[in-house]
């Protein structure tokens, strides 16, 4: 009997076996480990991939933004550079260590692309955290894939290969959005958001919009006067310190006496031009164009965050603001985008040169704030109102821009990175491309499938990204390291003074400043160069009258003192500077051989090699109107034809028949009736011609041209 009871007890005990209780601390730790691993992977892969994608590039192209940011980076890195401008220098602070610690421009540029990639990597990590907070029901994998798709937006990958502040702006903008999302539960986050928003102004002047929006968000979420006042005061101190003290001090330190910093933004007085009926209509059209651009490039995904933000704003006005992460982030991101749209549309309205198609729908400024908007758009299902907005807004813009700018100049690729209709339908006019974009975006919105949206975005990004790199390749090839820079770095010791001609704005000479960062590079008057500078003088036209020699390239002239250096530079030709003091273009045989169909270099001359064709052509230079003298020297005979043309030969300015060349030079006068940007001089020789050209000199001042043609490399 006892055994039976005992058996029953044992069986009962087995039936009531309790499963182990899971350890919540362990699960939390495992979850945090997964989150950190995903974040580390996002940051590392983004930095690595963005850097590798832009590895082929080793320097800037002639874009004012790059020249402005690089110059500030050089200055903060401890170098003397005269290129202070109205660009803000917050981004340049991160470039300064490169100029301080590295000695080659190739290494500096590689470091710059890594920094840009790291900024976007950091922004995407924060974006991943936003996704986890805003959409907690989404799996970790889904959040990571959504952020990965956001990372493929063409502007962010391609812009990392330039010295542009967009990655820096995107990082601090996304960080500000995250801190504001946390601010209802943390005053420290509210203060932190104020600091990062103020730094956005240090990066770009449109950051002022983010500061205003940050103050409004802190007030709406807290209704705390003291906190809002403290946040606003912090932003005012940081912005005021920059505007009233830091920026003026830096500009004064960079700018030599007698010159002024370069201003590229319109004056406050010109902004008054917008307050007219035509000005308001144009500004409204440009603002609508920017909204249309965002709707088209995101395939309508930006419409839903816009509507969420509108709903949140209306709720705040009624005193019923929803403090959920979705509403907080949407309102901040869309509010900042709206403010930047209004400011930039107004600016382009008063800038006379803002005539390109991209100026009517400028995307690059707003793309710095696009990450949270794209994330929310990918993670929420659009409704009918979003569909209507996606279709109607671009349609209205297409009509308005057709009426106001029927012949707008072609768009800039870099400012319209994801405008896929221009890539898919390059032959369609601008208005038609906008309508095509609206239809495509509307179709994706109507289907309302996140999978279809993801596939559509992948397709759009895939066709747009190659165009960005093709343009960058073209610009990089067109703006290689000038050989005048190579000559200076070969012949002139580091730290020497390099003077350059004053210019009304950024020019190729400022572009060269990057490659001469470890010299004292400064504007100066040609008349003061000989007594104040121990190095050469760079110009794009005339130079100092007391220079001894000049090395002439396709786009710049390098004037020097004393004996000229050895001519080891194929794209430079040397001449007596006295004859080039007014203006000249010099091309020796080696330089001419770079553009030849049938020539070979033989004993310092470009000799015809047998077949017919152009012995030389080019150089496609900018020349002012006036009377010119061409002195062509060489040897040999054979009937040939010398042409002076523009527009790829379609516009003939002068033609000559040549039967023989003279070592002393033959003179040809011709007139240029108006300024040209692509002057070409070409010599066509028949098959079997026995002719060899030693060079030519094109001069606007005929004095001493014979001296130039026979210039000997001795101290004059």
pLDDT in tens, 47-72: 999 999 999 999 999 889 999 999 99
Of 373 and 2, the structure prediction assigns the larger pLDDT to: 373
Of these ranges, 193-197, 476-480, 655-659, the one predicted with the greatest mean pLDDT is: 193-197
CA distance 178 to 168: 16
| Average confidence (pLDDT) over 431-438 | 96
Distance CA 604, CA 607 (A): 9
Q: How far is 183 from 205, CA to CA, in rounded Å?
A: 25
Query: Rounded distance, CA 228 to CA 191, Å?
Result: 9
State the Cα–Cα distance between residues 120 and 371, nearest whole angstrom. 10
Residues 6 or more apart whose CB falls under 8 angstroms from that of 192 comprise 179
Q: Which tokens in the block code for residue 544?
A: 């100092």
How far apart CA 98 and CA 71 sit, in angstroms, is 12
For residue 617, is pLDDT > 50?
yes
Same topology between domain 483-583 and domain 586-700: no
Q: pLDDT grade, residue 7 (50/70/90)?
A: very low
Q: How far is Cα 135 from Cα 328, in angstroms, rounded to an integer?
A: 13
Q: For residue 705, what pLDDT is reported? A: 41
* Mean pLDDT (whole number) for 469-475: 93
Q: Give the residue extent of every domain in the chain.
A: 273-480, 483-583, 586-700
Structure tokens at 161: 């290969």
384: left (phi over 0), alpha (psi -120 to 50) or beta: alpha
SS3 583: coil
d(CA 704, CA 399): 60
Q: Which two tokens stand for residue 205?
A: 């002047």
Lowest mean pLDDT among 79-88, 279-288, 473-482: 473-482
In the block, tokens 């943390």 appear at 186
User: Which residue in this structure is represented by tokens 């009736």?
Assistant: 673
Res 137: pLDDT: 92
Judge contact between 366 and 418, C-beta under 8 A. no
Candidates 485, 473, 693, 697; CA nearest to 571 is 485
Confidence check: pLDDT of 6 > 50 = no
Q: Answer yes or no: are the C-beta atoms of 181 and 131 closer than 8 Å.
A: no
pLDDT at position 14? 43
Question: What is residue 24's predicted lDDT score, i.e. its pLDDT?
Answer: 55
Who contacts 17 (Cβ-Cβ below 8 Å, separation ≥6)? none
Q: What is the DSSP letter of 85?
A: B
* β-strands 557-560, 690-699 pairing: unpaired
d(CA 698, CA 620): 13
Res 40: pLDDT: 94
Nearest to 360 by CA among 296, 316, 413, 404: 404
> Which range among 167-171, 315-319, 332-336, 449-453 shows the weakest confidence by mean pLDDT?
449-453
Positive or negative torsion for Cα 265, 267, 268, 269? negative
The full 3-state SS of 233-275, as one line of letters, equals: HHHHHHHHHHHHHHHHHHHHHHCCCCCCCECCCCCCCHHHHHC
> Phi and psi (nearest 5°) for 397?
-65, -40
The DSSP line for 128-155 is: HHHHHHH-TTS-HHHHHHHHHHHHT-HH
- What's the confidence (pLDDT) of residue 543? 82
SS3 percent helix, strand, coil of the chain, rounded to 5, is: 55, 15, 30
Query: Does the pLDDT at position 457 exceed 70?
Result: yes
Q: What is the spatial distance between Cα 480 and Cα 594, in angstroms, rounded to a whole number? A: 15
Which residues face 621 on adjacent strands?
A: 679
Which of 192, 219, 345, 363 shows the shortest CA–CA distance to 292?
363
Confidence of residue 709 (pLDDT cuts 50, 70, 90): very low
Separation CA 40–CA 125 (nearest Å) = 8
The per-residue pLDDT for range 380-393, each reduced to its tens digit, is 999 899 999 999 99
The DSSP secondary-structure symbol of 410 reads P
Structure confidence at residue 341 (pLDDT): 96
- 133-142, 325-334, 535-544, 579-588: lowest mean pLDDT where? 579-588
Most distant CA pair in the chain: distance in Å? 135
For residue 28, the model assigns a pLDDT of 59
The Cα–Cα gap between 618 and 674 comes to 19
Percent of the chain with pLDDT over 70: 92
| In CATH, 483-583 is 3.40.190 | yes
Q: 586-700 architecture in CATH?
A: Sandwich (2.60)
Query: What residues contact 391, with CB distance under 8 A and at least 6 apart?
Result: 438, 439, 441, 442
Q: Which residue has the higher pLDDT, 176 or 585?
A: 176
Query: Buried b vs exposed e over 531-569: b needs ≥16 C-beta within 10 Å?
Result: eebebbbbbbebbbeebbbbbbbbbbbbbbbeebbebeb
**pLDDT, position 351:** 87
Residues 384-412: b if buried by 16+ CB within 10 A, e if exposed: eebbebbbebbbebbebbbeebeebeebb
Q: What is the mean pLDDT of residues 411-415?
A: 90
Whether residue 620 has pLDDT greater than 60: yes
Average pLDDT over residues 77-99: 96
* Cα 458 to Cα 150: distance, rounded to the nearest angstrom: 10
3-state secondary structure of 615: strand
* 37-50 pLDDT per residue, tens: 999 999 999 999 99
pLDDT of amino acid 34: 81
How far is the C-alpha of 136 from the C-alpha of 477, rounded, in Å? 48
Question: What's the rounded Cα separation, in Å, for the pair 670 and 678?
Answer: 16
The helix/strand/coil state of 638 is strand
Summarize pLDDT for 198-244 with one digit per residue, the tens. 999 999 999 999 999 999 999 999 999 999 999 999 999 999 999 99
Q: Are strands 537-539 and 497-500 parallel, antiparallel or unpaired?
A: parallel
pLDDT > 90: percent of the chain: 64
| Omega before residue 396 within 30° of 0, cis | no
How far out from the chain centre does Cα 376 lie? 27
The pLDDT of residue 21: 54
CA atoms within 13 A on the CB side of 325: 18
Q: How far apart are CA 476 and CA 124, in angstroms?
A: 28
Cα(569)–Cα(560) distance, rounded to whole angstroms?
16
- pLDDT tens for each residue of 522-575: 999 988 898 899 999 998 877 888 888 888 887 788 999 988 888 777 778 787
| Residue 530: φ, ψ to 5° | -60, -30
Helices (H), 77-186: 92-101, 105-134, 140-151, 154-159, 166-182
The 3-state DSSP class for residue 588 equals: strand
d(CA 696, CA 557): 16
Q: Per-residue pLDDT for 2 more than 70?
A: no
Please tell me the distance from the alpha carbon of residue 607 to that of residue 610, in angstroms, as a whole number.
9
680, 619 contact by CB (below 8 A): yes
Question: Helix or strand or coil: residue 320?
Answer: coil
What is the DSSP track for 490-509? HHS-TT-EEEE---SS--HH
């Amino acid at each position: 009997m006892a055994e039976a009871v005992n058996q029953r007890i044992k069986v009962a005990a087995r039936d009531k076996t309790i499963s182990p209780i899971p350890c919540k601390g362990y699960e939390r730790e495992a979850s945090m480990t997964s989150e950190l691993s995903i974040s580390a992977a996002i940051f590392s892969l983004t930095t690595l991939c963005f850097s590798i994608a832009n590895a082929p590039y080793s320097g800037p192209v002639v874009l004012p933004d790059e020249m402005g940011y690089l110059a500030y980076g050089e200055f903060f890195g401890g170098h003397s550079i005269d290129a202070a401008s109205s660009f803000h220098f917050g981004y340049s602070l991160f470039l300064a260590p490169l100029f301080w610690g590295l000695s080659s421009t190739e290494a500096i540029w590689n470091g710059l692309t890594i920094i840009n990639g790291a900024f976007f990597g950091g922004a995407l990590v924060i974006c991943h955290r936003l996704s986890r907070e805003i959409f907690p029901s989404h799996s970790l994998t889904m959040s990571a894939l959504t952020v990965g798709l956001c990372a493929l937006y063409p502007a962010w990958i391609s812009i990392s290969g330039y010295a542009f502040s967009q990655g820096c702006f995107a990082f601090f903008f996304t960080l500000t959005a995250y801190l504001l999302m946390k601010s209802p539960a943390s005053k420290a986050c509210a203060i932190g958001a104020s600091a990062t928003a103020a730094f956005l102004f240090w990066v770009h002047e449109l950051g002022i919009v983010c500061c205003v929006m940050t103050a409004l968000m802190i007030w709406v979420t807290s209704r705390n006067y003291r906190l809002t006042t403290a946040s606003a005061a912090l932003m005012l101190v940081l912005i005021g310190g920059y505007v009233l003290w830091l920026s003026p001090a830096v500009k004064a330190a960079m700018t030599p006496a007698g010159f002024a910093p370069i201003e590229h933004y319109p004056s406050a007085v010109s902004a008054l031009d917008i307050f007219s009926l035509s000005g308001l209509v144009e500004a409204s059209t440009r603002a609508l164009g920017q909204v249309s651009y965002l709707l088209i490039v995101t395939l309508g995904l930006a419409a839903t965050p816009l509507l969420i933000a509108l709903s949140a704003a209306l709720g705040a006005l009624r005193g019923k603001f929803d403090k959920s992460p979705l509403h907080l982030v949407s309102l901040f991101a869309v509010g900042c985008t709206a403010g930047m749209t209004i400011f930039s549309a107004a600016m382009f309205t008063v800038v006379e040169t803002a005539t390109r198609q991209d100026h009517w729908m400028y995307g690059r400024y707003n793309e710095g704030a696009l990450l949270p908007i794209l994330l929310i758009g990918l993670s929420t299902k659009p409704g009918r109102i979003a569909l209507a907005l996606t279709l109607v807004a671009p349609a209205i813009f297409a009509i308005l821009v057709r009426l106001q700018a029927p012949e707008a100049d072609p768009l800039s690729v870099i400012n319209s990175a994801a405008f896929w209709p221009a890539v898919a339908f390059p032959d369609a006019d601008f208005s038609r491309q906008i309508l095509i974009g609206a239809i495509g975006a509307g179709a994706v919105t109507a289907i309302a499938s996140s999978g279809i949206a993801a596939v559509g975005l992948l397709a759009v990004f895939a066709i747009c990204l190659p165009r960005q790199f093709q343009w960058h390749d073209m610009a990089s090839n067109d703006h290689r390291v000038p050989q005048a820079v190579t000559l200076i770095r070969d012949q002139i010791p580091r730290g020497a003074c390099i003077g350059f001609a004053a210019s009304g704005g950024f020019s190729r000479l400022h572009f060269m400043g990057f490659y001469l960062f470890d010299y004292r590079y400064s504007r100066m008057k040609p008349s003061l160069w000989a007594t104040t500078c121990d190095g050469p003088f760079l110009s794009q036209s005339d130079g100092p009258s007391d220079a001894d020699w000049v090395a002439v390239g396709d786009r710049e002239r390098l004037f020097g003192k004393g004996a000229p250096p050895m001519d080891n530079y194929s794209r430079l030709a040397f001449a007596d500077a006295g004859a080039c003091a007014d203006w000249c273009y010099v091309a020796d045989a080696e330089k001419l051989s770079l553009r030849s169909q049938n020539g070979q270099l033989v004993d310092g001359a470009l000799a015809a090699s047998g077949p017919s064709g152009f012995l030389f052509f080019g150089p496609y230079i900018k020349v002012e109107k006036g009377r010119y003298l061409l002195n062509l020297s060489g040897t040999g005979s054979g009937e040939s034809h010398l042409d002076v043309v523009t527009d790829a030969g379609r516009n003939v300015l002068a033609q000559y028949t040549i039967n023989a060349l003279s070592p002393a030079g033959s003179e040809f006068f011709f007139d240029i009736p108006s300024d040209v940007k692509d002057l070409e001089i070409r010599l066509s020789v028949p098959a079997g011609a026995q002719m060899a050209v030693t060079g030519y000199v094109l001069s606007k001042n005929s004095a001493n041209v014979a001296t130039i043609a026979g210039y000997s490399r001795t101290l004059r």
